[in-house]
Amino acid sequence: MFVTAGTPEFVDLAREVGDALRALGLDVREVDGALTVDGTPVALNIVDRAHPTPADLGQLVDELRGRHPAVVVADRISDPGREVLRRTGWGWLDRRGHVRVWTPGLRVEAPFAGRAGERPRSTNPWTTVGLEVAVAALITPDDPVTAVTVTGGSDSASADLLAAWLGSALACPVTRERSEPGTGVLGVVLERASGPVSLLRPNGEDVALLVQPGQPPRRIALAPRQDRDCLAEELRRMDPDEVYGEVLRDGLARVLP
């Protein structure tokens, strides 16, 4: 099922994936289909499909269960199809303008300027995936966070909620720094005994810089999302959101005047 590595077809498809990652601002080098992203070699298993349905993708995943996760390259992958791949750790390249690569050393899921034209903009870059990566990278049990600073637009409800959630979840003081209206969430700084940890998006860029004591800086794709994607994600769960309720009830008091 996988496209054979080293073949002309594989090289062409790998270059497409590389071009999509490059469009996100990542440093991508490609030699005969082998990708290096921000200095890290990325091993890809690639499956080529035209217009797979969610059922097609489910069957594909079942047939290759136990094998290494792959990237499905297609002209179109619907939101339900993406969810099938996401649940099993697979990635995709939707040529209309969306890419997900989920391999050791690289965690990216973001829209890019694809065949459909320029990527729509949004003021909320904090995708579910971005938050999962950020929190996993920033928080360690043996070095607790003692204070949090969240910087974002003065009109950014996302920044308010993020600050409220972090302050409540980490049980520490939180500071909400306000930037110009319309700038969205620009960064988070966590204070720890070993030194501050920061995840910053200077000038509202699509790629954030993660800086931790004793480690080289890393870049994480935190690209804007379309409103329809945000709405679709919210509608997947119709049961009560207890965490969101706790943030509204208890956490916002930490950050609002």
| Residue 19 exposed, middle or buried by CB count within 10 Å (0-12, 13-18, 19+) | middle
> Which of 57, 85, 111 is where one domain is finished?
111
- The answer to whether residue 117 sits within a structural domain is no
96-100: long-range pairs with CB below 8 Å, 24+: 99/17, 99/20, 99/21, 99/24, 100/71
Distance between CA atoms of residues 223 and 116, nearest Å: 17
- The answer to whether residue 122 sits within a structural domain is no
- The answer to whether residue 174 sits within a structural domain is yes
- The answer to whether residue 202 sits within a structural domain is yes
Residues spanned by the domain of 145: 128-254
Distance between CA atoms of residues 156 and 185, nearest Å: 7
Residue 223 pLDDT grade (very low, low, confident, very high; cuts 50, 70, 90): low
- The answer to whether residue 121 sits within a structural domain is no
3-state secondary structure 190-210: EEECCCCEEEECHHHCCEEEE
- This prediction has a pTM of 0.52
- The answer to whether residue 58 sits within a structural domain is yes
Could you tell me if 102 and 146 lie in one domain?
no
Distance between CA atoms of residues 191 and 198, nearest Å: 9
Quote the DSSP letter at residue 69. P
Single out the residue of 219, 225, 224, 215 nearest to residue 25, CA to CA: 219
Could you tell me if 105 and 179 lie in one domain?
no
Could you tell me if 45 and 136 lie in one domain?
no
Could you tell me if 71 and 100 lie in one domain?
yes
pLDDT tens readout for residues 99-158: 999 887 788 888 887 654 444 443 343 444 445 445 545 556 567 888 999 998 899 888
pLDDT tens readout for residues 41-87: 888 889 999 888 888 898 888 888 766 778 999 988 988 889 899 88
